[in-house]
A and B are shown apart, each in its own frame.
Chain A
Amino acid sequence: ASLRGPVLLFFCSGIAWLLLGSLLGTLAAFKMSFPHLLDSADWLTFGRVRPAHLNIMIYGWASSVGIGVGIWLMARLCRVALRHRGLLMGAGVVWNLGVLIGTVGILAGQSRSIEWLEFPGWATPVLFLGYALIGVWGVIMFRFRRPGHVYVSQWYLLAAFLWFPWLYATANTLLIWQPVQGSVVGAVNWWYGHNVLGLWFTPIGLASAYYMIPKVIGRPIHSYYLSILGFWSLAFFYSWNGMHHLIGGPFPAWMISASVVASIMMFIPVLTVAINHHSTMRGHFQYLKWSPTLRFTVVGAMTYTLVSLQGSLMAIPSLNNLTHFTDYTIGHAHLGLYGFFTMTMFGAMYYIVPRLVGWEWPSATMIRWHFWLATSGIAIMVASLTLGGFLQGLELNDPEVLDFLSSVRVVAPFRFIRACSGILLSAAHLVFAVLFIRMLLRHGVRQVGPALFSAPEKPGDLPAV
């Protein structure tokens, strides 16, 4: 209960950014099909809308909701009440302020054009201050936990709370405040960019999946030792992945080789987690019919396996040749950040919000709409980008094709389909936002049980949510 204010603040602001980010992303996507769309104003040009979309999604949506879920899980698992709630609320306000001024900076033409770090130098210290106040909370809660077993989710959360400030401080120092020379920018850029995904969002997503799956189906995680292996191999291999974004770039060969090897070694943590989650779920898949939390989380966890294996394959130089510089990579990024992380966070929010506001989700129909719009939207988006990117890659690599525009023409229909899938996702987010507001207002009739997709056949099968 001590968490209600701060966690809801992060959820509210996260959802607001999600709506704005979806709008900008869809606009940027349509601009690739209709280049003259809204092209007269400088602040709406493609090269500003796209980074605004990305940064809003990373820092405004994914980080906010990740922090909310992370803080809630940490408090639950450490069994401590949150102290100095006001300070955490303040940190949330500062964080959102940082995202806001950074976004305005990008649209106003102050973008640094360093991918994932476009916010201008005067916005990032605000974000860092906000984060410092937030991250400290996670570590403090862990320090003052009640004695007893430490659960796997807590390792992931503690690690995420420690890795992010290191990443963010290093990247900002070397790229924005004291810029380094030449190609080092690329190395630091992708060390940061890939690790934000791998060592900030991924551990939070996995922590949530590790908590929600056993909780909803009511049985323990399959193997403690697999969790340990998964955790440390993720920490070691993922952190070395970044340079696979720059295969063939102006760097010593060993750096790129190391990243390629580390990317392929990601099979170990990924399969470990997949086996662990699958073995936990085995015999309980019927719960997916009823529980919104579980359905979103399991789709997220399965996508994690898929997207990670795809990523490992994309790092193999001969395959990377085909996918590098094409829409295929964009599809991969969306599969990771949306199919895995965002879906997992939706699942967590379906579990957490009723416990914060003391009210059940008012409409199972709307949850169903949310799920199917989001799932079909991301599936269509990733399929069109993957296929289009593949064909684009064939054109870009073919030495016989000297007309660059043939690679543009071949991918054009897929880009249009991708833009349309953005409408589906935006609709999904709108449904979710309405549901969330109804929760805050405690709209609808008081229900005796949780909102389920359908009633279980046997009363004994009732899941926890």
Chain B
Amino acid sequence: MNRLPLLFVGILLVFSTSWIGLVAYPYLNLGHLAPGTSSDGLVPPPMTASAIAGERVYAANGCIYCHSQQVRPAWLSTDIQKGLGPRQTVARDYIRQSPTFLGTMRSGPDLSNIALRQPLPGWHYQHLYEPDMVTAGSIMPSFRFLFRVQPIQGQPSLEAVTVRGPHAPPPGYEVVPTQDARDLVAYLLSLKHDYPLPEVPEPPKAKK
């Protein structure tokens, strides 16, 4: 092993096998999946502009470091038993997302189907402003920098977030979400896999 050409070619050739297998193959086979169709139209449904903007807010603030977005199959894990989603997630579920936040940590709950578990925007605003208010004992940080505390002028804003307890704004003030917060909540409310895909038959409904 004293010659440069031999080492050079060997080093690159061996490495190229993994590049072909783990990069080129999925790129060619999973990189151009088309959406499926169901009675409600295309699945997964297209994301709204606000949800797409919210995806960037999700990335900017590193939600992925505590929240995964994948439901593992029932034969492998208890994810479905524990109510993370109605079925396992498959490659086609992610075709609208860029980038995809599969995640590797569950310091917080999986968010693949958060919109099914918490469908109300108001809950999400309260939770983002002060997680402890709706989930006592949560260690999620407060994202109050996504909100404005402003004096109430005339009528309270329709968007004002209900904040009670020690985190309430001073009297005469209200908490309103910024555009970033609205986008983020739109994104979170787009996270649900309740549509059928031919490659994953829904498991029997006997859950919990």
Binding site for B on A (CB under 8 A): 31-33, 35-36, 39-42, 45-48, 50-51, 109-115, 142-143, 149-150, 155, 158-159, 162-163, 166, 170, 174-175, 179-188, 191, 195, 199, 228, 232, 235-236, 239-240, 242-243, 245-252, 255, 258-259, 317, 321, 324-327, 329-330, 396-399, 401-402, 404-405, 407-409, 412
- For this complex, 30 residue pairs linking A to B, each with C-beta atoms less than 8 Å apart, are A35-B139, A45-B141, A45-B145, A46-B65, A47-B62, A47-B64, A47-B66, A110-B60, A111-B62, A113-B64, A115-B64, A150-B2, A155-B1, A163-B15, A170-B19, A170-B23, A175-B99, A182-B97, A183-B102, A191-B23, A239-B14, A239-B19, A240-B21, A240-B22, A243-B22, A250-B70, A325-B105, A330-B105, A398-B78, A412-B139
Nearest A residue to B131 via CB reads: A35
A35 to B142, CA, bound (A): 7
Chain A residues with Cβ below 8 Å from B143 are 45
A18 to B11, CA, bound (A): 31
State the Cβ distance, B126 to closest chain A Cβ, in Å.
16
Is B62 a contact of A48 with CB atoms below 8 Å? Answer: yes
- Contacts A174-B27, A250-B70, A251-B91 given: A408-B62 contact, CB under 8 Å? no
Binding site for A on B (CB under 8 A): 1-2, 4, 7-8, 10-12, 14-15, 17-19, 21-23, 25-27, 29-33, 58-66, 68, 70, 72-73, 76-79, 81-83, 88-109, 131-132, 135, 137-146
State the Cβ distance, A193 to closest chain B Cβ, in Å.
9
Is A159 a contact of B65 with CB atoms below 8 Å? Answer: no
Nearest B residue to A262 via CB reads: B18
Among B22, B61, B93, the one with the most A-chain Cβ atoms within 10 Å of its Cβ is: B22
A248 to B84, CA, bound (A): 14
State the Cβ distance, A250 to closest chain B Cβ, in Å.
4
- Contacts A181-B33, A183-B100, A240-B17 given: A325-B62 contact, CB under 8 Å? no
Is B26 a contact of A397 with CB atoms below 8 Å? Answer: no
Main SS class of interface, A = helix
Select A183's contact among B82, B94, B144, beta carbons within 8 Å: B94
- Contacts A111-B60, A183-B91 given: A245-B104 contact, CB under 8 Å? yes
Extra inter-chain contacts (8) besides given A111-B60, A247-B72, A402-B82, CB under 8 Å: A41-B145, A45-B62, A163-B15, A239-B18, A240-B21, A325-B103, A326-B105, A397-B77
Sorted nearest first, the 5 A-B pairs with minimum C-beta distance are: A47-B62, A248-B72, A239-B18, A325-B106, A113-B59
Chain A residues with Cβ below 8 Å from B138 are 35, 405, 408
Is B62 a contact of A248 with CB atoms below 8 Å? Answer: no
Nearest A residue to B12 via CB reads: A162
Select A250's contact among B60, B77, B90, beta carbons within 8 Å: B90
State the Cβ distance, B14 to closest chain A Cβ, in Å.
4
Is B26 a contact of A115 with CB atoms below 8 Å? Answer: no
Nearest A residue to B19 via CB reads: A170
State the Cβ distance, B112 to closest chain A Cβ, in Å.
10
